């Protein structure tokens, strides 16, 4: 039988930006609540956040998310609002999305790129209206991302364009992710009578009253592969919201440890580990983020490099990997990948999969080895272990997608 176990140092090893120095880092509005509920606090990207809670192991928390639903404090993420009739064009100048062509109330994943085609960060852009965008990007890249957006806005304003920005701080605005198959049912109990989640499809967003709290933004998205939402709420109301979500006893609190293994099973990248400024969307198997219209306009940073790669190919590619054999040790970030005695790549994320019951990973291999079923080897503690390239996600995605016409 495949046996899984996580200890706190192991969980931290999965998280590139985490440190066990619990006393360090900025506190979110829910910090005291986390401590009260038995949260084991670590420093993640400069914020004091729970890696797990005393009532559940990381594995139990992971499985509860997959089977029922969990609540995550993600208030460390950078939330930004961009206003003005030129807001969409302004943000398009630094990313690969077709924001102008996105319907109001919808959003998409995209990336900031540099002139070499490298990924500076991944972010979600919601088109609130023709004159307003709501953007969520990574905490670890907060200062960089604020600089990128501010420079784009300043450039447009210098040309007489209509665009302004507002960066929301965790002191003022919190972000709570609620993920899992029972989330919609539990959330519906707290919604205002006139509101419904039935038409709120994946990557859609709206403002409503939730748990008696007005002006709450609910976006149907997440970082687990499950149906779920991210809720932007005034920080003064964050604990009330979280307590209301917990009240029925169905949903449970979850931390960074479960969030990381969930996102890996879902085949989702962690910035700084699986993608970085030296990795292009094509190499990262994220070419779909370069939308059709933007490939035609060729007006985003690094467009020439990326479009050339789309035409001519690349030498390496991000792939899913699974270990073979009996009880192999997990392959963590940095493990070398071999084929026929030669190193052909490197693991960027890896852990035991609680859902699949095997050790999984993602990493980069030579382009000629990217096909699923290709056999490779991992060098773990100076010993080679069998593995193979496999499709991602490692578990079926359960997003609440719009029905196909």
User: Is residue 254 domain-shared with residue 321, that is, in the same domain?
Assistant: no
- The CATH number assigned to the domain holding 320 equals 2.40.30.110
User: Is residue 68 domain-shared with residue 184, that is, in the same domain?
Assistant: yes
User: Is residue 295 domain-shared with residue 374, that is, in the same domain?
Assistant: yes
- Across 351-376, average pLDDT: 98
Lowest mean pLDDT among 1-5, 203-207, 300-304: 1-5
* pLDDT for 20: 52
pLDDT surpassing 90 at residue 90: yes
* pLDDT for 17: 54
pLDDT surpassing 70 at residue 125: yes
The verdict on residue 13 lying in a domain is no
Domain boundary among 116, 146, 168: 168
Percent of the chain with pLDDT over 90: 92
* pLDDT for 398: 98
* pLDDT for 404: 87
- Across 288-308, average pLDDT: 98
User: Is residue 159 domain-shared with residue 126, that is, in the same domain?
Assistant: yes
pLDDT surpassing 80 at residue 105: yes
Mean pLDDT for all residues in the chain: 94
Question: What is the residue range of 255's domain?
Answer: 26-76+171-266
* pLDDT for 10: 44
Domain boundary among 118, 134, 168: 168
Asked whether residue 230 is marked as a ligand-binding residue, the answer is yes
The verdict on residue 344 lying in a domain is yes
* pLDDT for 19: 55
Percent of the chain with pLDDT over 70: 94
Q: How many domains does the chain divide into?
A: 3
The verdict on residue 140 lying in a domain is yes
- Across 258-282, average pLDDT: 98
- CA of residue 216 relative to chain centroid, distance: 21
Q: What is the CA radius of gyration of the chain?
A: 21
Taking only the tens place, the pLDDT of each residue in 11-40 is 444 555 555 544 568 999 999 999 999 999
User: Is residue 229 domain-shared with residue 187, that is, in the same domain?
Assistant: yes
Q: How far is CA 254 from CA 40, 188, 372, in A?
A: 11, 21, 32
- The CATH number assigned to the domain holding 203 equals 3.30.1360.120
User: Is residue 341 domain-shared with residue 351, that is, in the same domain?
Assistant: yes
User: Is residue 229 domain-shared with residue 363, that is, in the same domain?
Assistant: no
47-53 and 78-83 beta bridge pairing: unpaired
Lowest mean pLDDT among 8-22, 129-143, 221-235, 334-348: 8-22
List of residues 6+ apart from 232 with CB closer than 8 A = 79, 134, 168, 173, 174, 175, 216, 217, 219
Domain boundary among 118, 152, 168: 168
* pLDDT for 2: 34
pTM of the full structure: 0.94
User: Is residue 331 domain-shared with residue 228, that is, in the same domain?
Assistant: no
Token pair 């961009």 in the structure block, residue: 82
User: Is residue 119 domain-shared with residue 234, that is, in the same domain?
Assistant: no
């Amino acid at each position: 039988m495949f046996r899984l176990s996580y200890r706190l140092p192991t969980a931290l090893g999965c998280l590139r930006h985490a440190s066990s120095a619990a006393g360090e880092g900025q506190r979110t509005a829910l910090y005291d609540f986390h401590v009260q509920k038995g949260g084991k606090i670590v420093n993640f990207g400069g914020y004091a956040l729970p890696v797990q809670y005393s009532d559940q192991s990381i594995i139990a928390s992971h499985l509860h998310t997959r089977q029922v639903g969990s609540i995550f404090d993600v208030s460390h993420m950078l939330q930004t609002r961009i206003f003005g009739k030129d807001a969409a064009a302004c943000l398009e100048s630094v990313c690969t999305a077709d924001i102008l062509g996105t319907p109001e109330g919808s959003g998409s994943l995209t990336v900031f790129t540099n002139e070499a085609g490298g990924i500076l960060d991944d972010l979600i852009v919601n088109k609130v209206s023709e004159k307003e965008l709501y953007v969520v990007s990574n905490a670890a890249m907060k200062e960089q991302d604020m600089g990128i957006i501010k420079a784009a806005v300043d450039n447009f304003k210098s040309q007489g364009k209509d665009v302004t920005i507002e960066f929301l701080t965790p002191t003022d605005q919190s972000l709570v992710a609620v993920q899992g198959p029972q989330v919609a049912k539990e959330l519906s109990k707290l919604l205002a009578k006139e509101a419904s989640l039935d038409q709120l499809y994946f990557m859609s967003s709206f403002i409503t009253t939730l748990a008696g709290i007005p002006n709450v933004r609910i976006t149907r998205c997440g970082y687990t592969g499950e149906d779920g939402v991210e809720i932007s709420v005034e920080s003064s109301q964050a604990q009330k919201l979280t307590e209301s979500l917990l009240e029925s006893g169905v949903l449970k609190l979850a931390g960074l440890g479960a969030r990381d293994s969930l996102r890996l099973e879902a085949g989702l990248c962690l910035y700084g580990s699986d993608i970085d400024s030296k990795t292009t969307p094509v190499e990262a198997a994220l070419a779909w983020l370069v939308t059709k219209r933007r490939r035609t306009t060729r007006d985003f940073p690094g467009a020439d490099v990326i479009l050339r790669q789309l035409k001519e190919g690349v030498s390496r590619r991000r792939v899913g990997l699974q270990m073979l054999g009996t009880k192999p040790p997990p392959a963590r970030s940095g493990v070398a990948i071999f084929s026929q005695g030669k190193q052909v790549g490197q693991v960027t994320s890896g852990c035991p999969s609680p859902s699949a019951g095997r050790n999984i990973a993602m990493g980069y291999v030579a382009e000629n080895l990217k096909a699923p079923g290709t056999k490779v080897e991992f060098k773990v503690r100076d010993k080679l272990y069998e593995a193979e390239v496999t499709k991602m996600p490692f578990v079926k995605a359960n997003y609440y997608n719009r029905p196909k016409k």
